[in-house]
Chain A
Amino acid sequence: MIRVEDLQKTFQTERGEVRAVQDVNFEVPEGELCILLGPSGCGKTTTLKMVNRLIPRTSGKIYINERDTDEYDIVELRRHIGYVIQQIGLFPNMTVEENICVVPKMLGWSKKQQHERAADLVNMVALDQSVLSRYPKELSGGQQQRVGLCRGLAGDPPVLLMDEPFGAIDPINREIIQDEFLKMQADLKKTILFVSHDIDEAVKMGDKIAIFRDGKLVQFGTPDNLLAHPVNDFVADFVGGDRELKRMRLIKISEALKREVPTVSATDTLDTAAKKVEQAGANHIVVLDDDGRPEGVLTQGDLDSKGSCGDSAHPLRTTVQSIKDLRTAVSRMFTYNTDWLAVVDDDGKFVGEISYRSITEMLHASRKRGEKKGAA
């Protein structure tokens, strides 16, 4: 847990005082990832560096696991907080393995433990074991950033500070590393402060987001809360005019899909299908094979003739997995010019349908819930 109370930082410069951080309060629960978000120069890095005391505070308190950071021995504090800096900052004189093992070595791990840790970590960030013996100058920017991440995680710190850790990576590789990191975090459950200036990254990675402006914390909440209920124009502008589209990223299809939809098997008669369609007030019905996988679809026009459903069904042009987000569903609807999709589970079995209507209702309902929560 990280708790920040009345944090202030004023830099004295030749051009006068710079109030980099003013009256900042927030708390990150154990195991959560909190994004510090905002435009350049708004005080994100300064806030982060006050946690591991690289920058002394002007006033205020920071607690880690209910203990005042001032009470820790400074070196001890830092060795138990993983730190990944914006400029990567790998040590050029050390191999990748030596870089990763800096903290484990200081913590007195055995040679064997250190080596195993380094090997595990590079594996986790999808790098080849051969990088271990290389020097930083022999790696690409993206590889260096992954090594920087390994180095921050090496001592298995409960708390991690990350300053734009994926900033130096091209957009495609950034997505990949973000996904890898989220997978890792699902296992590791570190308490993380993560600086970013990219709203998409924040929405994707954060359990909580803290939006800063000119050194002040303007809004703190879950990504969905921020997108659905920005507190002022600044936040609304910052999260973007397409914020409802961004919200769709946060919701899984499984949360919005309609499960009670009629289905028929390939051997059923068209009569049976017609009855079910009428009962449900639908305009189509999905035909399943013996294993419960969607095989085709019948629309109202197909139901007037005689025969089995299997013979008259049109093939389904596409399906979507229930673990994907709403954005994927909508994108696929656009691609195939349809207003509904058959949803399948990991094994390809039919679990329900999703439509434009169910999506808009879902977004609206969760916005309402958020409003009530906000008011309470």
Chain B
Amino acid sequence: MALPATGRVGRIAFYGGLFALGALAQGSGLLPEIAYYWPDIEYLGREHLFLVGVSAGLAIGVGVPLGVFLTRPFMRGTAESVMQVVNLGQTIPTLAVLALSMSVLGIGVVPAIFALWVYSLLPIVRNTYAGILNVPPAIHEAARGMGMTNNQILWRIELPNALYVMIAGIRTAVVINIGTAPLAFLIGGGGLGQLIFTGIDLFNTGMMLAGAIPTALMAVVVDFLLGLIAFYFIPRGVNPLR
């Protein structure tokens, strides 16, 4: 998995950028200006978290079982084609997904959550599917030969061994979700996008940063927390980090 590595590089770059921005903000007197929007940040931040939490939660709730379902023996013939479609879905631009969602569900929170859900679903399904298929055949055979039922194999062997890859997928999905959520404002879903896009429209840099910086911080913090979970929660035997 190249994911943790790119994640680390990305994070370092991000902290660097953040520091530079902070310095710039202080120098140009932007910081007080951003602080001025604190009540908005708090309110919209909560909306943002709500969008992310619900859509990512639903994506996990649907994506993991779907990924598992695709690995079942009776799906062997069709699973690959489904994954092709899933991968294709990932290449559709976010805005297009939002637009499609709006054209079907109208405007508001529901179409926003739907679009974010679709977008986070893909990495979760893909990683669950790949994680389970990557469990070595020998391990599978040993489990079957010892008389484990299919259910026992799923819960005791396949899921624990795929857990690291699955959580990596969830991490990717949630971080992308947080970064994409500002677009929800465009279809009336609220969130920190309101400050960002309004700020851009009004050429108000302070306002824009008041939306952008908390969004970025949220992504970093959530990614960090999920990293902690991955580190401590995944058994040592299948945890490449330990």
Which of A88, A135, A151 touches B138 (beta carbons < 8 Å)?
Answer: A88
Q: A78-B144, A83-B142, A88-B138 known; A106 and B152 CB under 8 Å?
A: yes
- Are the CB atoms of B141 and A85 closer together than 8 Å? yes
Q: A103-B146, A103-B147, A106-B147 known; A89 and B139 CB under 8 Å?
A: yes
Which of B143, B147, B163 touches A91 (beta carbons < 8 Å)?
Answer: B143
- Are the CB atoms of A92 and B238 closer together than 8 Å? yes
- Which chain B residues border A95 with CB–CB below 8 Å? 237
Query: Whole-angstrom distance from the CB of A100 to the nearest CB of chain B?
Result: 11
How many angstroms from the CA of A86 to the CA of B136 in the assembled complex? 13
- Which chain B residues border A365 with CB–CB below 8 Å? none
Q: Which residue of B lies closest to A95 (CB)?
A: B237
How many angstroms from the CA of A86 to the CA of B142 in the assembled complex? 10
Tell me whether A18 is interfacial, beta carbon within 8 Å: no
- Which chain A residues border B163 with CB–CB below 8 Å? 93
Query: Whole-angstrom distance from the CB of A150 to the nearest CB of chain B?
Result: 13
- Which chain A residues border B138 with CB–CB below 8 Å? 85-89
23 A-B contacts, Cβ less than 8 Å apart?
A: A52-B145, A74-B147, A75-B149, A77-B147, A78-B144, A79-B147, A80-B147, A83-B145, A85-B141, A85-B142, A85-B145, A87-B136, A89-B136, A89-B141, A90-B139, A93-B157, A93-B237, A93-B238, A94-B237, A102-B146, A106-B148, A135-B237, A137-B237
Query: Whole-angstrom distance from the CB of A82 to the nearest CB of chain B?
Result: 8
- Which chain A residues border B142 with CB–CB below 8 Å? 83, 85, 89-91
Tell me whether A76 is interfacial, beta carbon within 8 Å: yes
- Are the CB atoms of B147 and A78 closer together than 8 Å? yes
How many angstroms from the CA of A74 to the CA of B147 in the assembled complex? 8
How many angstroms from the CA of A106 to the CA of B156 in the assembled complex? 12
Max chain B CB contacts within 10 Å: which of A76, A78, A95, A161?
A78
Q: How many residues of A contact B (CB 8 A)?
A: 30
- Are the CB atoms of B236 and A135 closer together than 8 Å? yes
Tell me whether A245 is interfacial, beta carbon within 8 Å: no
- Are the CB atoms of B147 and A92 closer together than 8 Å? no
Q: Which residue of B lies closest to A49 (CB)?
A: B145
Interface string of B120-153 (1 = CB under 8 A from A): 0000000000000000101101111111110010
Tell me whether B101 is interfacial, beta carbon within 8 Å: no
- Which chain B residues border A94 with CB–CB below 8 Å? 156, 235, 237
Q: How many residues of B contact A (CB 8 A)?
A: 22
How many angstroms from the CA of A321 to the CA of B67 in the assembled complex? 65
Interface string of A126-160 (1 = CB under 8 A from B): 00000000011100000000000001000000000
- Are the CB atoms of A91 and B145 closer together than 8 Å? no
Tell me whether B188 is interfacial, beta carbon within 8 Å: no
How many angstroms from the CA of A161 to the CA of B144 in the assembled complex? 14
Q: Which residue of A lies closest to B135 (CB)?
A: A92
Tell me whether A176 is interfacial, beta carbon within 8 Å: no
Tell me whether A282 is interfacial, beta carbon within 8 Å: no
Query: Whole-angstrom distance from the CB of B193 to the nearest CB of chain A?
Result: 41
- Are the CB atoms of A92 and B139 closer together than 8 Å? yes
- Are the CB atoms of B147 and A76 closer together than 8 Å? yes
- Are the CB atoms of A54 and B139 closer together than 8 Å? no
Q: A83-B142, A85-B141 known; A75 and B147 CB under 8 Å?
A: yes
- Are the CB atoms of B237 and A54 closer together than 8 Å? no
How many angstroms from the CA of A368 to the CA of B138 in the assembled complex? 46
Extra pairs beyond A52-B145, A91-B143, A93-B237 (4, CB < 8 Å): A74-B147, A89-B142, A106-B146, A135-B235
How many angstroms from the CA of A77 to the CA of B144 in the assembled complex? 11
- Which chain B residues border A52 with CB–CB below 8 Å? 145
Query: Whole-angstrom distance from the CB of A354 to the nearest CB of chain B?
Result: 46
Query: Whole-angstrom distance from the CB of A242 to the nearest CB of chain B?
Result: 35
Closest 8 CB pairs of A and B: A135-B237, A78-B147, A89-B142, A79-B147, A87-B138, A93-B160, A83-B145, A89-B138
Interface string of A39-64 (1 = CB under 8 A from B): 00000000001001010000000000
Query: Whole-angstrom distance from the CB of B141 to the nearest CB of chain A?
Result: 6
Tell me whether B194 is interfacial, beta carbon within 8 Å: no
Query: Whole-angstrom distance from the CB of A363 to the nearest CB of chain B?
Result: 41
- Which chain A residues border B237 with CB–CB below 8 Å? 91-95, 135-137
- Which chain A residues border B146 with CB–CB below 8 Å? 78-79, 83, 102-103, 106, 151
- Are the CB atoms of A54 and B141 closer together than 8 Å? yes
Tell me whether B161 is interfacial, beta carbon within 8 Å: yes
Max chain B CB contacts within 10 Å: which of A93, A102, A135?
A93
How many angstroms from the CA of A106 to the CA of B149 in the assembled complex? 10
Chain B residues 64-82 with CB under 8 Å of chain A are none
How many angstroms from the CA of A106 to the CA of B145 in the assembled complex? 13
- Are the CB atoms of A93 and B147 closer together than 8 Å? no
Q: A87-B138, A92-B161, A93-B161 known; A102 and B148 CB under 8 Å?
A: yes
- Which chain A residues border B236 with CB–CB below 8 Å? 135
Which of B136, B145, B149, B157 touches A54 (beta carbons < 8 Å)?
Answer: B145
